[in-house]
Amino acid sequence: MAFYAYLLRCSDGSYYAGHTDDLEHRLSQHQCGALGGYTARRLPVTLIWSEDFSTRDDAFWVEQQIKGWSRAKKEALIASDWELVSSLARNRSQFGQSSAGPSTSSG
């Protein structure tokens, strides 16, 4: 059985990331508002990216990872611009997390 991570574009231009074991059925649920929540208030939605995985855990992990990404990084993923995805990841680690901040360790 395959599992999928996916990205939808909502009518307001926002993105929604999710995961499922039945992509066609889940997309249908999103498109008719059956799931309620975020996408139901932003219809119609369009599937703009998906990838299949061998385990639900892998699909869920990718969904969570994408949810934490910037809009620019999501758009690089949509465009399959792996160089830009990688560059945006490096920029965050170099500039978004300063090592000069307070330590959170106890030792």
Question: Position of tokens 């945006």?
Answer: 88
- pLDDT higher than 70, residue 30: yes
User: Residue 100 has what pLDDT?
Assistant: 42
The encoded tokens of residue 81 equal 């611009």
Rounded distance, CA 83 to CA 27, Å? 29
Residue pLDDT, tens place only, 56-107: 999 999 999 999 999 999 999 999 998 998 888 766 554 444 434 443 434 3
Select the CATH number that applies to the domain covering 3-68 from these four: 3.30.9.10, 3.10.20.30, 3.40.1440.10, 3.10.560.10.
3.40.1440.10
Domain extent listing, the chain = 3-68
What is the pTM (predicted TM-score) of this model? 0.81
- pLDDT higher than 70, residue 50: yes
Helix, strand, coil proportions of the chain in percent (round to 5)?
45, 20, 35
